[in-house]
Amino acid sequence: MSAVTVQLFASCAEFFGSPTLQISVSAGSTVGDLIAALRARPGAEFLPPSLRIAVNRKFAAPDQLVGPDDEVALIPPVAGG
Amino acid sequence: MRRAAIVAREINPTAVLGSVHSLQFGAVSMFLGTVRDLNDGRPVSSIEYSAYVSMAEAEMDQILAESEEKFGVRAIVVEHRVGLLELGEVSIAIATAHQHRRPALDATRFVIDEIKARVPIWKLERYADGTSDWVDPTKSDEAALP
């Protein structure tokens, strides 16, 4: 087992009360697993229903593998413009 | 000329326009987004923008590259501001130049629509009554507005 550091922004950082979270991963862990783990954390009940994960600064599909060397971020609904 | 930047200072629309204009282009199109005083019926006092800066700049650059490919524009610049913005201040400026008007106009619309959909930027709206809320376009009709 190892861990990935998930960067949090905007409402997600506020709800978790932190700019990052450590999530345990193993070989074969996917973006979908990461979202499930994040939703199981305390504070997650306030998260927006629509969440995306970015891996190495690109939006990632749920079946994409993710490991400790990846730059990972939780992306709540965007509202630029 | 292609440039996408997140900035923490005031946006100068004239400077953004000037950076795309050249004698070879007969059409320059610009979009400005500004902070308005009412959202969903609630009086707004200011907006705090934040971003995942490295990804936001990379994603905006990708959108500009797509607009070059799609519309043939060769001069396109976007600046998006972060930080606390007062009513009326410019949050985003997009300038596009082309030999002709239609590709310039189409590219500008494409860029703002894509930025709204996929660039990691967020806004915390502060209301006149002292409350605040994270804007979530997936919860309202805003995303569907033309």
pLDDT in tens, B55-111: 999 999 999 999 999 999 989 999 999 999 999 999 999 999 999 999 999 999 999
- Among residues A6, A4, A1, A2, the alpha carbon closest in space to that of A51 is found at A6
- The whole-number pLDDT of residue B139 equals 81
Using beta carbons and an 8 Å cutoff, which residues of A are at the interface with B? 7, 9-11, 14, 48-50, 54, 57-59, 73, 75-81
Residue range of the domain that includes B32:
2-133
* B140 pLDDT above the threshold of 70: no
Give the number of C-alpha atoms closer than 13 A to the C-alpha of residue B144, restricted to the C-beta side: 4
Q: Which residue of A has its CA nearest to B117?
A: A78
Strands B90-98, B132-134: pairing kind: unpaired
B30 CB neighbour count, 10 Å cutoff = 17
> What average pLDDT score do residues A7-27 get?
93
Tell me, what's the ipTM? 0.93
pLDDT digits (tens, 9 = 90+) for A50-70: 899 999 999 999 999 999 999
Domains of chain A in start order, with CATH, are 2-75 (3.10.20.30)
When divided into structural domains, chain B yields a total of 1
Question: What are the tokens at B90?
Answer: 């410019």
* B145 pLDDT above the threshold of 80: no
- CATH number where B118 lies: 3.90.1170.40
Does residue B21 belong to any structural domain of this protein?
A: yes
Does residue B139 belong to any structural domain of this protein?
A: no
Cβ separation B123–A80 shorter than 8 A: yes
- What letter represents residue B122's amino acid? W
> What average pLDDT score do residues B105-133 get?
97
The predicted model scores a pTM of 0.93
Q: Which residue of A has its CA nearest to B51?
A: A9
3-state secondary structure of A65: strand
* pLDDT level of residue A4 (50, 70, 90 thresholds): very high
- The whole-number pLDDT of residue B138 equals 87
Please list every residue in chain A whose beta carbon sits closer than 8 Å to the beta carbon of residue B138: 48-50, 77
Rounded Cα gap, residues A55 and A37, in angstroms = 16
* A41 pLDDT above the threshold of 70: yes
Rounded Cα gap, residues A49 and A30, in angstroms = 19
Please list every residue in chain B whose beta carbon sits closer than 8 Å to the beta carbon of residue A7: 52
Interchain CB contact of B42 with A (< 8 Å): no
Residues near A6 by Cβ (< 8 Å), separated by ≥ 6? A20, A21, A22, A23, A34, A38, A72, A73, A74
Residues near B63 by Cβ (< 8 Å), separated by ≥ 6? B4, B78, B110, B111, B114, B115, B118, B119
Does residue B120 belong to any structural domain of this protein?
A: yes
Cβ A8 vs Cβ A19: under 8 Å = yes
Does residue B67 belong to any structural domain of this protein?
A: yes
Q: Is B24 exposed, middle or buried (0-12, 13-18, 19+ CB in 10 A)?
A: exposed
pLDDT digits (tens, 9 = 90+) for B23-56: 999 999 999 999 999 998 999 999 999 999 999 9
pLDDT digits (tens, 9 = 90+) for B6-27: 999 999 999 999 999 899 999 9
- The whole-number pLDDT of residue A42 equals 84
